[in-house]
Amino acid sequence: MANAKGRWPKVDLDSGVEDATLLILEWLGEQGVGAFIRVDAEHMRDGQPAWTFAASGGPLAGGMRADGVSVAECMGRALIQLREAGLTVPF
C-alpha cells in the first residue's frame, strides 16, 4: 500500500467509484470474496477517516482493509489494494 517513501498511493477522487460501490461488492461476492463497507459516525464527528472497506476470502491470500475520509477515497484505496492482490475489478 505504501511506496518506498511511506506515502499512500494517489487516489482518483473524481472517478465515480462511490457510484459503483454496490456493483463492486456484488462482483467481489461472485468471486468468492466477502466484503463490506461501513461508516463510523464517531470517527466522522471527530474528523477522522470514517469510511472502512474490508474484504477476505476467495482469491485473496489474506484479509485487507482500506480507510478514507470519504467513500471515494476509501474505495479508491480498496481498488488499488485489490488490484495489487491480483483481482482485476471491472471498474
**What is residue 17's three-state secondary structure?**
helix
pLDDT mean across residues, the chain: 86
Cell numbers standing for residue 1: 500500500
Tens-place pLDDT, residues 45-82 = 999 999 999 999 999 988 999 999 999 999 999 999 99
Is pLDDT above 90 for 10?
no
Task: In whole angstroms, give the CA distance from residue 64 to residue 83.
Answer: 12
The closest of 10, 67, 52, 60 to 33, measured between CA atoms, is 60
Indicate the pTM of the whole model.
0.80
